[in-house]
């Protein structure tokens, strides 16, 4: 059986994440988008709970992450924060909320800490985002950088394509990683990069890398919870790197179908699911109703 944590688990901080990194213990990261998904991530012992902008699709039914607004992200961040006591929480800054200027980025990041109750923020981009990352970290807010495949820039990248497959691409990835590290990023997500390249980049850094579709040479791993839990209808596209650890959709569907059938057949609610009433009171009520009807 898997290990389930209790409320005695110490609060995870940037310092404790650094200690895991220095010990060589992989850092476990999982997305959450509401109170229930955050509750199970916390109970399951995640080191970091990420309120990813992937919630645009998995929670709000949007086409891609670019549609989600700051106010929507903050609502979900607050929901997640109410469930997480020990894990380190990070909120994803949505497209358009940080790229304009370091000042804009800092103001958005502050909202994610104050209103969203997050411990840190995540933003996409490499070298070009270094001044923005530095402004946020100078304000005392931890930053998780995101390089490689950056979904908010899918239109410029030509869709969801593996990055760093050429020598030039791999060297650019390393430049991006070093730049965001020097700007003060505490962690770096590397998405959809060949495992060998991600491992090489990781070896050149002094901060942890978190892989998603980038092999196990990274300092930790992240997946979208809905994906790894199998909580989606059959036939939905899944990236190659997603391993499903459960079949929540099938379990939920079976429960809903059984409920529907029992409602239709009047099997539910049976007597065990109803509140009892004494026969005397029932008889008295019938007499009163009969008398009033006769009048």
Q: What is the pLDDT of residues 205-233, one digit of tens each?
A: 999 999 999 999 999 999 999 999 999 99
Q: Which pLDDT score is estimated for 290? A: 86
- Strand positions, DSSP E, the chain: 27-31, 48-51, 88-92, 120-124, 143-148, 187-191, 209-212, 220-223
CA dihedral 104, 108, 109, 113 (to 10 degrees): 150
**Which whole number is the average pLDDT over 153-180?**
80
Q: Band the pLDDT of 1: cuts 50, 70, 90.
A: very low
DSSP assignment, residue 34? S
Q: Are 183 and 131 in contact (CB under 8 A)?
A: yes
Range 78-82 contact pairs with CB under 8 angstroms and sequence separation of 24 or more: 78/115, 78/116, 78/117, 79/33, 79/34, 79/35, 79/38, 80/32, 80/33, 80/34, 80/35, 80/37, 80/38, 80/49, 80/51, 81/38, 81/116, 81/117, 81/118, 82/35, 82/38
What rounded mean pLDDT belongs to the chain? 93
Percent of the chain with pLDDT over 70: 93
Q: What is the pLDDT of residue 295?
A: 61
**pLDDT tens track for 234-290:** 988 898 999 999 999 999 999 999 999 999 999 999 999 999 999 999 999 999 998
Six-digit token pair at 63? 């086409």
Which structure tokens are listed for 216? Answer: 């196990």
Name all domains of the chain by residue range, CATH numbers in brackets: 14-228 (3.20.20.60)
DSSP letter (8 states) at residue 81: H
Radius of gyration of the chain (CA): 24
Model confidence pLDDT, tens digit, residues 107-161: 999 999 999 999 999 999 999 999 999 999 999 999 999 999 887 776 555 555 6
Task: Name the token pair of 167.
Answer: 């020598």
Please tell me the least confidently modeled range out of 67-76, 153-162, 198-207.
153-162
Angle between helices 70-81 and 35-43 (to 10 degrees): 50
Task: Determine the pLDDT at residue 215.
Answer: 96
Helix, strand, or coil (residue 74): helix
Centroid of chain to Cα 34: 9
Between 190 and 157, residue with greater pLDDT: 190
The question of whether 128 is a catalytic residue gets the answer no
The answer to whether residue 88 scores a pLDDT higher than 90 is: yes
Q: Which entry of 85, 191, 272, 280 is annotated as an active-site residue?
A: 191
The tokens for 110 are 């502050």
- Closest to 96 in 3D by CA, of 55, 62, 125: 125
Q: Would you say residue 293 has pLDDT above 90?
A: no
- Residues 94 and 68: beta-carbon distance below 8 Å: yes
């Amino acid at each position: 059986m898997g290990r389930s944590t209790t409320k005695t688990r110490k609060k995870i901080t940037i310092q404790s994440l650094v200690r895991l990194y220095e010990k060589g213990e992989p850092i476990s990261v999982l997305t959450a988008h509401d109170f229930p998904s955050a509750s199970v991530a916390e109970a399951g012992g995640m080191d970091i709970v990420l309120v990813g902008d992937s919630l645009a699709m998995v929670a709000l039914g949007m086409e891609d992450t670019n549609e989600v607004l700051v106010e929507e992200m903050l609502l979900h961040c607050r929901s997640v924060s109410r469930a997480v006591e020990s894990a380190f929480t990070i909120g994803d800054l949505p497209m358009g909320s940080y790229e304009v200027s370091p000042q804009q980025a800092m103001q958005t990041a502050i909202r994610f800490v104050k209103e969203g109750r997050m411990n840190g923020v995540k933003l996409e981009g490499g070298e070009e985002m270094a001044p923005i990352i530095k402004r946020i970290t100078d304000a005392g807010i931890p930053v998780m950088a995101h390089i490689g495949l950056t979904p908010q820039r899918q239109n410029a990248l030509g869709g969801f394509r593996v990055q760093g497959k050429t020598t030039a691409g791999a060297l650019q990835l390393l430049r991006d990683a070093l730049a965001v590290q020097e700007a003060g990023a505490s962690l770096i997500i590397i998405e959809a990069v060949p495992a060998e390249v991600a491992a090489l980049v990781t070896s050149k850094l002094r901060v942890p890398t978190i892989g998603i579709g980038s092999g196990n040479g990274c300092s930790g791993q992240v997946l979208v919870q809905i994906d790894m839990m199998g909580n989606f209808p059959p036939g939905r596209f899944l990236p190659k790197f997603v391993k499903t650890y459960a079949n929540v959709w099938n379990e939920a569907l079976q429960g809903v179908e059984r409920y529907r059938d029992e409602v239709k057949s009047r099997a539910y609610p049976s007597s065990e699911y109803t509140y009892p009433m004494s026969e005397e009171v029932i008889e008295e009520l019938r007499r009163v109703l009969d008398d009033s009807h006769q009048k």
